[in-house]
Structure 1
């Protein structure tokens, strides 16, 4: 069952608990550019179904504009790195105050616009066990500093100590294979472990089953399996911090042409 909590800052957080009396790891599923619509709530419940405390926080809670326009994709909310760190601090404090959460086992999954945020937080805090970037955090905007995002992705990667999984699609119109290679190279230059997967034929947003034009059930099933295996390994102390592992697996056409990738609805 999905529970809504309002934290001290005014941020709403949706939490779904697994059917067990034992404390369980918590995994945050961050929303896309559309804010807290149905999909991130669904994913919190889906995480609970596989044994994790599923959490979806509203990172747009400071926005005082037309949130319905945001949900329709007609307006965009820019979020600041410092505000994201404050928000995650608050969510994790809340989670650790709950007796059903295993406070030393917390993961974050960033999606699309929020793909940067898990790595941002892992670079500034030691409070997360593992992070995932799902078709986000890699496009050109993440490599150059801005007032909202003052630290470029290369520096965030260099400061990250926890395991990182990146999951992307061959047909993404925002993230090119060249961008993924640059992301991979940043991990290797910093001597950091990574696991990157590129799924064949998947457009941007392919995990979101509320958007039929983008949703790809076969690729989603494969990515979900990879994601759960990654968290099981990280939460179960299966990730050897004394070793650096570089794992890049890409399945793309010999005729791959990023310029032919298009936005789907």
Structure 2
């Protein structure tokens, strides 16, 4: 069952617990540019169904504009790095205060606009065991410092200690294979472990089953399986942190042409 908790800052966090009395790892599923709509709540519940405490925080809680316009994609909320760190600090304090959470096993999944945020947090804190970037955090805006994002992605990667999984689509109109190669190269230059998967024919947003034009069931099933295997390794004894592993698997056409990728609804 999904429950809403209001934290001291005013941020709402939706939590779904697995059907067990044992403390379990917690995984945050971050919302896309649309804010807390149905999909991130659904994913919190789906995480609970496979045995994790599913968590979805509202990273737009400071925004005093039209949230309905944000949900429709007609307005955009910019996220400041220092505010994200504050928010995750608060969420993790909350989770660790709950007896149903295994406090040393917390993961974060960032999606689209929030794809940067798990790596950002892992670069500044040692409070997470694993992070995932789902078709986000790789586009050009992440590589140059801005007032909202003062540390470029290359420096964040170099400071990250926990395992990182990146999941992307061949047909993404925002993230090119060239960008993914640059992302991969940043991990290798920093001698950091990574696992990257590129799924064939998948457009931007392919995991979101509330957007029929983008949703791809076959690729989503494959990515979900890969994601769960990654967390099982990271939360257990399967990921050897004494080794650096580079794992890039890409399935694309011999005629791949990023310029032909288009936005779908």
2:120 and 2:240 map into 1 onto residues whose CA distance is 22
For residue 33 of structure 2, give the secondary structure of its aligned residue in structure 1: coil
For residue 136 of structure 2, give the secondary structure of its aligned residue in structure 1: coil
1:247 and 1:70 map into 2 onto residues whose CA distance is 36
Is 1:152 the counterpart of 2:149 in the alignment?
no
Q: CA-to-partner distance for each residue in 1:156-186, whole Å, 9 max, x for gaps? A: 0000000000000000000000000000000
For residue 138 of structure 1, give the secondary structure of its aligned residue in structure 2: coil
- Give the superposition deviation at 1:238: 1.2
Is 1:259 the counterpart of 2:259 in the alignment?
yes
For residue 120 of structure 1, give the secondary structure of its aligned residue in structure 2: helix
For residue 201 of structure 2, give the secondary structure of its aligned residue in structure 1: strand
Instruction: Give the TM-score of the pair, scaled to structure 1.
Output: 1.00
Q: CA-to-partner distance for each residue in 1:106-135, whole Å, 9 max, x for gaps? A: 000000000000000000000000000000
> Which piece of structure 1 moves more, 244-253 or 231-240?
231-240
1:240 and 1:213 map into 2 onto residues whose CA distance is 39
Is 1:11 the counterpart of 2:11 in the alignment?
yes
**Structure 2 unmatched ranges of 5 or more:** none
- Give the superposition deviation at 1:237: 2.1
Q: Which residue does the alignment assign to 2:171?
A: 171
- Give the superposition deviation at 1:210: 0.1
Is 1:247 the counterpart of 2:247 in the alignment?
yes
Q: CA RMSD in A?
A: 0.2
Q: CA-to-partner distance for each residue in 1:34-83, whole Å, 9 max, x for gaps? A: 00000000000000000000000000000000000000000000010000
For residue 180 of structure 2, give the secondary structure of its aligned residue in structure 1: helix
**Structure 1 unmatched ranges of 5 or more:** none
Is 1:48 the counterpart of 2:22 in the alignment?
no
Q: Which residue does the alignment assign to 1:192?
A: 192
- Give the superposition deviation at 1:206: 0.0
Q: CA-to-partner distance for each residue in 1:216-247, whole Å, 9 max, x for gaps? A: 00000000000000000000121111100000
Q: Which residue does the alignment assign to 2:81?
A: 81
Q: Which residue does the alignment assign to 1:132?
A: 132
Which 4+ runs in 1 deviate beyond 6 A? Answer: none
1:243 and 1:236 map into 2 onto residues whose CA distance is 16
> Which piece of structure 1 moves more, 48-57 or 231-240?
231-240
Query: How many residues end up aligned between the 2 structures?
Result: 265
